[in-house]
Amino acid sequence: MKKGKQRDEKKQETSPVRHLQLELQKLRRELRTTARVYTRRLEHELIAATDALGRYAPAEKLTREQLYRVRDFAIMVRQRRLRPEKGRRKDLRRIDSLISDLRPLIDDQ
């Protein structure tokens, strides 16, 4: 009887279904890790953009060009069209693109 149980357990371990289950579990962990790191990177870039704005002189001392540039960035951010409740890649791409567009704001400092 023992030998039969050991064979059944061994068959389950080497089963293609079991291998796929294990790979899917690994993929799930990798998804969580990737999403966490990706989100952390985007948040870091947003914080950097916010800090860059904080280093700007008071609005009265900014040049006309700087004021227009800040206004353009504000319009761009305000006009974003996202539906976060749907959890779509499309929205993530838009957020990533928007943050990338803010890069000159950080680089100017």
Range of the domain at 98: 2-107
Q: In this structure, what token pair is assigned to residue 31?
A: 């998804």
11-23: average pLDDT: 85
Report if pTM > 0.85: no
Please tell me the distance from the alpha carbon of residue 98 to that of residue 94, in angstroms, as a whole number: 6
Q: In this structure, what token pair is assigned to residue 40?
A: 């952390």
Enumerate residues 6+ apart whose C-beta is below 8 A from 107.
none
Q: For residues 80 and 97, is the Cβ–Cβ distance under 8 A?
A: no
Tokens 């904080």 belong to: 54
Q: How many domains does the chain have?
A: 1
Confidence of residue 13 (pLDDT cuts 50, 70, 90): low
